[in-house]
Structure 1
Amino acid sequence: MDIQTERRRLLDEEGGDEDPTGLLSEQEAYLSKVKNRKLYLASFAAVLGPMSFGFVLGYSSPAIPELSRISDPRLRLSEVEGSWFGSIVTIGAAVGGLLGGWMVQRIGRKLTLMSCTLPFVFGFTIIIAAQNVWMLYVGRVLTGLASGITSLVVPLYISETAHEKVRGMLGSCVQLMVVLGIMGVYLAGLFVDWRWLAICCSLPPSLLMVAMCFMPETPRFLLSKGKRREAEEALRFLRGPDAPIEWECSRIEDGCDEQGSTFHLSDLKDPGVFKPLLISILLMVFQQMTGINAIMFYAEDIFVQAHFKESELASVIVALIQVIFTGIAAVIMDRAGRKVLLVISGVAMMISTTAFGVYFYLTPKVPSGAPAPHADLTWLALASMAVFIAGFAIGWGPIPWLIMSEVIPIRVRGFAGAAVVLSNWGMAFVVTKTFQDMMNLLTSAGTFWLFACMCGLNIIFTVIFVPETKGKTLEQIEAIFRGTSGP
């Protein structure tokens, strides 16, 4: 059954006349024949990458305290070495973002994703076999490199394989698997030592390598390389045997032909390129300026003040809040829309960082052992942290990555994706590096009020500049920025 026949059947069932918005009717007719089972399978295989990424991010939290107390002097981390062990991942990730941008254009999304499993596994293997601190550093840089590649390629892979009805949900699963990986490594850290924990962390990327062997390349990448037959086979796998995939394949092919297949620096003058690129970069900058790293930095101290004796358990609680609300975001993403969730998220974080500033203003530092004034305000810090983490998880955590994968045109996804990922990791490094200086200059209260102002700017930026991509095909989104009606 072709797409026009199916379209007519749906119109007859609804008792309606010919829909003047012909494309929408064709989309509905097409999607009514689509089966999502193998699409979900391909997405699950891909998001094993973000889970591995989450294991990398979370590994330092349980490992650093143990490595700081280890009896072997060759492996014992000082305070400075522990700081480097935790933060050197961002350097590897920044390089990984640049490398990933080159790889996705040259060898494709699938092979790039499979290739990033190697530095994941090799990095954790070096940590497992470490005989000195420098081997630990090398292992962390390699796993950071893999994380940077993963943070670029997985959102692209999912956005290019998913259709518009489920793209938001599946794209949000990227961040969901990151926080699941963080929570998983926190939980495992309660029961195993740092070497066994590294062994556990090497399992998801190993499984990713095997699973991706059976998954297709994205149809859009294949069509951009002129491989029509392979693209049809990939679509047939992803959409099921009953879907008239020739219609979607032609639509994607028309989009590829219209925008061209090669990228030149002069293309940055094109509003269809620089506008989505600028929006994506600013989303990443604003994401880091919300103060997420500062909140996580203070999390353990806040739990201690609240008389939580087990800081490891406190970390698990924080991660659990992230998992729950990121899961909620994934479920409602394709119904609520991206802009609405970004605004709700920004408001929640602005309120919570303002409350954090009030807490620190009313609770100045006191000498060790002295009674803390306003100790009854601990509830304010705990409530503020819970609201902030929930707000971040439901919007500004997953959505910048999702929008990046939706709005950047296919021909520039290597270059532009690398620039966006580099912006994210670079800004994360700047905020983390200057955080203590901001605390000294502005005080704790002033720093968190600054973050509250940035959250306010996030909201304004979202309302004015961020387009709503819910329910639109990638070709329609590109047409919005080009100022045309699109295919």
Structure 2
Amino acid sequence: MDIQDERRRLLDAEGEPNPTGLMSEQEAYMSKVRNGRLYLATFVSVLGPMSFGFVLGYSSPAIPELSNSADPRLRLDAVQASWFGSVVTVGAALGGLLGGWMVEKVGRKLSLMFCSLPFVFGFAIIVAAQNVWMLYVGRVLTGVASGVTSLVVPLYISEMAHERVRGLLGSCVQLMVVLGIMLVYLAGLFVDWRWLAICSSIPPTLLILCMCFMPETPRFLLSQGKRREAEEALRFLRGPDAPVEWECARIEDACDEQGSRFQVSDLMDPGVYKPLLIGVMLMIFQQMTGVNAIMFYAENIFQQAHFKESDLASVIVGLIQVVFTAVAALIMDKAGRKVLLIISGVAMALSTTAFGVYFYIMSRLHSSSSLSVLMLDVQNGAGEEAHSDLAWLALASTAVFIAGFALGWGPIPWLIMSEVFPVKVRGFASAVCVLTNWSMAFVVTKTFQDMMNLLTSAGTFWLFASVCTVNIVFTMIFVPETKGKTLEQIEATFRGTSGP
């Protein structure tokens, strides 16, 4: 296909793009696309988020074991256990900054391969730990890897995928995170914390090996002036029958229009600062729902709610996450991002309100402070039996919250982050979003105990409910719908111009 002739065909008499011609050409191109290798490359890349999920979930089964360790050098008190759970977010914030630099310097593919190494080394240090500080170092390393992964993988997938499946494949990032969390919860029922760390090092090892055979993203290659390599990558991802020169030229035009280098003055461009502000606010709101605090201390929350089988309850929560994140992935490209965010926010607001009501009633029934003790004080927290008529409320509230989060506020902020930024600022802007997300995660998880003591259990969950309500309003007013649009069309929307 002669690209110049095709462009001339798509221009009308006034020299303006012909939307009907463009659509028919796009439809003809998409009819020849085959997605098999695209799915394969996505599956390999999301081994990173699965590793990330193992890191997030690891603290829930490991903390109770380490808190009762027979070895005094490894025994965690309440403060140390809190740091063991939350220090990973410090590493992840640093990893977000590192990832923003890496994706621009060495590309998406190599960044993904390099970030697997701290996963493996971090878990190896945990396995070999002889004191608490070695546990901290291992958690920080796996946190750094998690931060890089949470930035690189959404970018890698969004820059590989076409608009028809970008929502589905982009949602697989969060799906694999929650699958990793569920698997580590499940494994924690059968193996101790050292063997759990060994199991957790398997996905990143497979990622390093398999990623060698996957391509770099076409958009990054074109931004580096490597058109031939970009066409080869597109041919791998779209199949042998697709005329990839057409898509390559479309992406190349967008790269040429933006320029190749990011400058601070670009932050004055509405095509940059508008999506950046939206991305940052989405990350703040995601963490302020309290989801990471709930997931980090899942077993302890159930113990405080007086469920005897708290570890099994955590596995059930993980399974709910996996199921509803899978549902979100399947309907993402049909329902749209905005609708799912609103439904998700409503479900979380209602469930956290109900959870607060549960704890408030329990505190009145027992007339004691036992419900606002430290979350990690397992022996004290499980001392009383809950009223049997109210026990279902805590479990149901948690299930609805997790299901609601998985439908929208879990996968969609990361998906939108990977869609809305222009190529030249994608590394910088994504790093800002990831840093914001993990900084907020650290603040929420580290202060969760203090909030429970200061505001009581009921007040803490009502605070989360208030944030979820604000999320809904923010989504309705400011978040754009990106369903069915190419990355170039999304960028053009923020610039106030017509998309390519």
Structure 2 residue aligned with 1:420: 433
Superposed CA deviations along residues 446-468 of structure 1, whole A, max 9, x for unmatched, are: 33222222111111111111110
Q: Give the superposition deviation at 1:284.
A: 0.5
Contact 1:349 1:391 in 2 (8 A): yes
Counterpart Cα distance in 2 of 1:307 and 1:87: 24
Structure 1 residue aligned with 2:9: none
Q: 1:321 to 1:30 in 2, by over 3 A?
A: same
Query: Which SS does the other structure have where 2:225 is aligned?
Result: coil
Superposed CA deviations along residues 135-169 of structure 1, whole A, max 9, x for unmatched, are: 11111111110000000000000000000000000
Structure 2 residue aligned with 1:184: 183
Query: Which SS does the other structure have where 1:70 is aligned?
Result: coil
Structure 2 residue aligned with 1:14: none
Larger mean CA deviation between 264-273 and 289-298 belongs to 289-298
Counterpart Cα distance in 2 of 1:353 and 1:101: 34
Contact 2:262 2:425 in 1 (8 A): yes
Q: Give the superposition deviation at 1:27.
A: 1.6
Structure 2 residue aligned with 1:317: 316
Q: Give the superposition deviation at 1:289.
A: 1.4
> Which letter maps to 1:402?
L
Counterpart Cα distance in 2 of 1:305 and 1:136: 26
2:222 maps to 1:223: yes
Larger mean CA deviation between 159-168 and 126-135 belongs to 126-135
Counterpart Cα distance in 2 of 1:445 and 1:215: 49
Pick one of 478, 484, 499 that aligns with 1:471.
Answer: 484
Query: Which SS does the other structure have where 2:390 is aligned?
Result: helix
Structure 1 residue aligned with 2:76: 77
TM-score, length basis structure 2: 0.91
2:444 maps to 1:431: yes
Structure 2 residue aligned with 1:384: 397
Structure 1 residue aligned with 2:194: 195
Structure 1 residue aligned with 2:11: none
Q: Give the superposition deviation at 1:375.
A: 4.7
Q: Give the superposition deviation at 1:373.
A: 8.1
Q: Give the superposition deviation at 1:116.
A: 0.5
Q: 1:374 to 1:128 in 2, by over 3 A?
A: closer
Query: Which SS does the other structure have where 1:130 is aligned?
Result: coil
Larger mean CA deviation between 471-480 and 355-364 belongs to 355-364
Q: Give the superposition deviation at 1:34.
A: 0.3
2:283 maps to 1:270: no
Structure 2: where are the runs of 5+ without partners? 7-17, 371-381
Q: 1:446 to 1:306 in 2, by over 3 A?
A: closer
Counterpart Cα distance in 2 of 1:95 and 1:286: 20
> Which letter maps to 1:477?
I
Superposed CA deviations along residues 277-333 of structure 1, whole A, max 9, x for unmatched, are: 000000000111112234446744564477642222111111001000001001110
2:66 maps to 1:53: no
Q: 1:5 to 1:308 in 2, by over 3 A?
A: farther
Counterpart Cα distance in 1 of 2:295 and 2:42: 29
Residues 133-152 of structure 1 mapped to structure 2, 5 A cutoff: 133-152=132-151
Structure 1: where are the runs of 5+ without partners? 7-18
Contact 1:362 1:374 in 2 (8 A): no
Counterpart Cα distance in 1 of 2:55 and 2:74: 19
Counterpart Cα distance in 2 of 1:463 and 1:39: 33
TM-score, length basis structure 1: 0.93
Counterpart Cα distance in 2 of 1:334 and 1:4: 32
Larger mean CA deviation between 104-113 and 371-380 belongs to 371-380
> Which letter maps to 1:41?
L
> Which letter maps to 2:264?
L
Q: 1:132 to 1:98 in 2, by over 3 A?
A: same
Q: 1:26 to 1:261 in 2, by over 3 A?
A: same
Counterpart Cα distance in 2 of 1:200 and 1:65: 19
> Which letter maps to 1:387?
V
Contact 2:51 2:177 in 1 (8 A): yes
Structure 2 residue aligned with 1:15: none
> Which letter maps to 2:196?
L
Structure 2 residue aligned with 1:406: 419
Q: 1:370 to 1:231 in 2, by over 3 A?
A: closer
Structure 2 residue aligned with 1:16: none
Q: 1:23 to 1:256 in 2, by over 3 A?
A: same
Structure 2 residue aligned with 1:10: none
Q: Give the superposition deviation at 1:67.
A: 2.1
Structure 2 residue aligned with 1:9: none
Contact 1:3 1:244 in 2 (8 A): no
Contact 1:75 1:131 in 2 (8 A): yes
Contact 2:60 2:298 in 1 (8 A): no
Structure 1 residue aligned with 2:406: 393
Q: Give the superposition deviation at 1:217.
A: 0.3
Structure 1 residue aligned with 2:258: 259
Counterpart Cα distance in 1 of 2:332 and 2:206: 28
Q: Give the superposition deviation at 1:200.
A: 0.9
Superposed CA deviations along residues 223-255 of structure 1, whole A, max 9, x for unmatched, are: 001000000000000000000000000000000
Structure 1 residue aligned with 2:475: 462
Counterpart Cα distance in 2 of 1:297 and 1:380: 21
> Which letter maps to 2:437?
N
Q: Give the superposition deviation at 1:440.
A: 3.9
Larger mean CA deviation between 68-77 and 392-401 belongs to 68-77
> Which letter maps to 1:390?
A
Counterpart Cα distance in 2 of 1:106 and 1:248: 24
Q: 1:4 to 1:253 in 2, by over 3 A?
A: closer
Counterpart Cα distance in 1 of 2:490 and 2:240: 27
Q: Give the superposition deviation at 1:81.
A: 1.9
Larger mean CA deviation between 259-268 and 350-359 belongs to 350-359
2:23 maps to 1:24: yes
Counterpart Cα distance in 1 of 2:300 and 2:243: 57
Q: Give the superposition deviation at 1:436.
A: 3.6
Contact 1:58 1:182 in 2 (8 A): yes
Q: Give the superposition deviation at 1:26.
A: 1.8
Query: Which SS does the other structure have where 1:21 is aligned?
Result: helix
Counterpart Cα distance in 1 of 2:386 and 2:203: 46
Counterpart Cα distance in 1 of 2:456 and 2:444: 15
Larger mean CA deviation between 435-444 and 272-281 belongs to 435-444
Structure 2 residue aligned with 1:333: 332
Structure 2 residue aligned with 1:345: 344
Q: 1:444 to 1:196 in 2, by over 3 A?
A: closer
Structure 1 residue aligned with 2:495: 482
Counterpart Cα distance in 1 of 2:72 and 2:59: 19
2:122 maps to 1:123: yes
> Which letter maps to 1:484?
T
Contact 1:122 1:139 in 2 (8 A): yes
Structure 1 residue aligned with 2:13: none
Q: 1:245 to 1:297 in 2, by over 3 A?
A: closer
Q: 1:435 to 1:271 in 2, by over 3 A?
A: same
Contact 1:126 1:135 in 2 (8 A): yes
> Which letter maps to 1:405?
S
Counterpart Cα distance in 2 of 1:252 and 1:454: 38
> Which letter maps to 2:411?
P
Contact 1:46 1:208 in 2 (8 A): yes
Q: 1:374 to 1:134 in 2, by over 3 A?
A: closer
Larger mean CA deviation between 270-279 and 379-388 belongs to 379-388
Counterpart Cα distance in 1 of 2:171 and 2:246: 27
